[in-house]
Amino acid sequence: MKALSGSRFNALWLLLMAVMIATRFKHFGDMLHLPDASMALFFLGGLYLRRHWTFVTMVLLAVALDWISISYAGVSAFCVTLAYSFLPLAYAVLWYAGRWYAPRVNHGALSLLGAFGVAVLAAVVSFAISNGSFYWLGGRYAQPHMTEYLSRLWQWGPLFVRTTISYVAVALVLHAVIVRVAWSSTAQQKEA
């Protein structure tokens, strides 16, 4: 897939940041709150935006949103421990998996299915990093051991991965629809 033009890059970057802001904390209350899309957005950012500085900016946005949530919106700081410093690594797994796969994306359904598969694998690794660092380094468990860790990994992992890949799946379907509409429009213009 070719790199996006400047205007498309900016529009998509603003859209990804807006979705992160909208889903990162419960500012509209429980009834209207969507699950956090941040992990999916990092994969999609890598897939479409690719630029390193954009990754850094999105990490800073995530940290700023967490700070605002804790400081002003009453969100618990339970997860903010030494392990929080591993979140950029968890985000990087997603971003750079998307970035790695980006040249393989074309107009075919098979390439989008491949992107989905890469997103699943990256989400699993990302969760293992974020959850593992929290469990082993977070200081929230008096005597951490592998059996308890694996139990918690299986308790929360499927939800995390399902949420992440659900957002990615929606984005890839939108990608396919947009490509199809653009291709159809181009074909009609050539016939005229």
Going by C-alpha positions, the residue among 51, 86, 64 that lies closest to residue 20 is: 64
Lowest-confidence pick of 35-44, 75-84, 160-169: 75-84
Which CATH number do you get for residue 135? 1.10.1760
Question: Quick check: is 68 in a domain?
Answer: yes
pTM (predicted TM-score) = 0.88
- Please list, in sequence order, all residues whose beta carbon lies within 8 angstroms of the beta carbon of residue 83, skipping any fewer than 6 positions away: 130, 133, 134, 135, 136, 137, 138
* Start-end of H helices in 80-108: 87-101
- The stretch 79-97 carries a mean pLDDT of 91
Question: Quick check: is 58 in a domain?
Answer: yes
Helix, strand or coil, per DSSP, at residue 75: coil
Give the pLDDT of residue 186: 65
One DSSP character per residue, 18-35 reads: HHHHHHHS-SS-GGGPPP
Question: Quick check: is 165 in a domain?
Answer: yes
Question: Quick check: is 1 in a domain?
Answer: no
- Asked if residue 122 lies in contact with residue 98, where contact means CB atoms within 8 angstroms, the answer is yes
- Asked if residue 177 lies in contact with residue 171, where contact means CB atoms within 8 angstroms, the answer is no
Q: Total structural domains in the chain?
A: 1
- Asked if residue 43 lies in contact with residue 164, where contact means CB atoms within 8 angstroms, the answer is yes
User: Would the pLDDT of 170 be above 70?
Assistant: yes
Going by C-alpha positions, the residue among 67, 41, 64, 66 that lies closest to residue 54 is: 41
User: Would the pLDDT of 159 be above 70?
Assistant: yes
User: Tokens in use for 113?
Assistant: 């299915």
- Dist CA 126 CA 36 (whole Å): 15
Question: Quick check: is 114 in a domain?
Answer: yes
- For the stretch 18-75, pLDDT in tens is 999 988 865 544 555 788 999 999 999 999 999 999 999 999 999 999 888 888 777 7
- Dist CA 49 CA 147 (whole Å): 39
Q: What range defines the domain where residue 105 resides? A: 6-191
- Dist CA 167 CA 179 (whole Å): 18
- For the stretch 92-151, pLDDT in tens is 999 999 999 999 998 788 999 999 999 999 999 999 999 888 888 877 777 888 888 888
